[in-house]
A and B are shown apart, each in its own frame.
Chain A
């Protein structure tokens, strides 16, 4: 049943959000602390656990995969409801915050590659 997969996903979502809220209360900050990240962690662990026991059918997987494929469209819809007019004054911040960190990350690639001895000849099929 497709809905079982969706329900597993929904369960992990609620559990993750709860964890984030509880963590926020414990830390005395008025925010959801990493709820989405926790939910993803739960989903990876639970779906792995269920797959090992053959409890997670392809049908159930389809139910969860549908929502994962909806994420770019949802992000597009999310962009369409932002207060862009109010944020335009911050356009320069956006460009700088996009370009500078990316350049820094690119510079790190050869360093890490050297650290982990990546060579062209180690290419695996």
Chain B
């Protein structure tokens, strides 16, 4: 049977495409079937990814999650820094300057404040829990923004895989919390008009959570929230590994 293993190892990246596709098919079904679409399938898929990584670590004793299993080693290419950064940059394709102007001043301030608040409180938690190096603090602060900004920041700054994992998990907690909490608190925070939806999108920023949360609140508001939220990850990837890292480093030296 070793020739089957050889075939899978040789075509690692393609095997990873197939495995990820099957996994996401399953998680989207689970999301629809058991949460009525309230929790986005992509959030469940990322959670399952972390579970797989845990299992991979348990089975092999290695540090690269599921990629330590030879047949699934293609995951390390598909989920590696190059593809991650390349696909994230590609998401900027959806953003147009016209739309940026539409969001206007309120959207821009909401975006900046949203990233700053999430980062400061996230970094604060990291410090309170005993992290003392600027790279780890900045990475966890980035994770408190979104599950993308954390690993991008950690990757750029050279954070350890443990800290990057914590940052992904923090972003995931945020995404799920936003999804569940938005419809529940909507009436208390005045989330019933397009302008507040744009402010909400900029302040919260985690795109899948914002879209799912608004859809459960009032589907008409989705495009307004998504409009500002789409810029959140890009802006966070720009600010966290640069100005905010320098600030943290300046405080901690």
Question: Would you give the 0/1 interface string for B60-83, flagging 1 where the beta carbon is closer than 8 Å to chain A?
Answer: 000111110000000110111001
Task: A124 to B220: give the CA distance in the assembly, Å.
Answer: 10
What is A's interface to B at a CB cutoff of 8 Å? 9-10, 12-13, 16-17, 20, 23, 27, 29-41, 43-45, 47-48, 61, 64-68, 70-88, 90-102, 104-106, 108-110, 112-113, 115-116, 118-124
Are B50 and A80 interface neighbours, CB within 8 A?
yes
User: Are the C-beta atoms of A76 and B45 separated by less than 8 Å?
Assistant: yes
Within the complex, what minimum Cβ distance (angstroms) separates B251 from chain A?
A: 15
Q: Is the pair A36, B85 in contact by a Cβ cutoff of 8 Å?
A: yes
How far is the CB of B201 from the nearest CB of chain A, in Å?
Answer: 10
Is the C-beta of B58 less than 8 angstroms from some C-beta in chain A? yes
State whether A64 touches B93 (Cβ < 8 A).
Answer: yes
Q: On chain B, which size bracket covers the interface?
A: 35 or more
Tell me what chain B mostly uses at the interface: helix, strand, loop, or mixed. Answer: helix
Please tell me if the beta carbons of B203 and A109 are within 8 angstroms of each other in the complex. yes
A-B interface pairs (CB < 8 A), number: 351
The answer to whether A97 touches B125 (Cβ under 8 A) is: yes
Is the pair A79, B122 in contact by a Cβ cutoff of 8 Å? no
Question: Which single member of B64, B117, B193, B234 contacts A101 (CB below 8 Å)?
Answer: B117
Bound complex: CA of A104 vs CA of B16, how far in Å? Answer: 38
Known contacts A20-B156, A92-B129, A96-B129; A70/B118 CB under 8 A: no
Contacting A77 at CB < 8 Å: which of B79, B90, B168, B249? B79
Contact A68 B87 (CB under 8 A): yes
Contact of B241 among A34, A66, A81, A124 (CB under 8 A): A34
* Residues of chain B from 211 to 253 with CB closer than 8 A to chain A in the complex: 234-239, 241-242, 245-246, 249
Tell me the complex Cα distance, A10–B246, Å: 28
B residues in contact with A9, CB < 8 Å: 86, 89-90, 93
Q: Beyond the given A13-B89, A43-B92, A100-B121, could you list 13 further A-B residue pairs with CB under 8 A, ordered by the A residue number? A: A20-B241, A65-B90, A68-B87, A68-B93, A72-B45, A75-B42, A77-B16, A83-B161, A97-B126, A99-B174, A100-B122, A109-B200, A112-B113
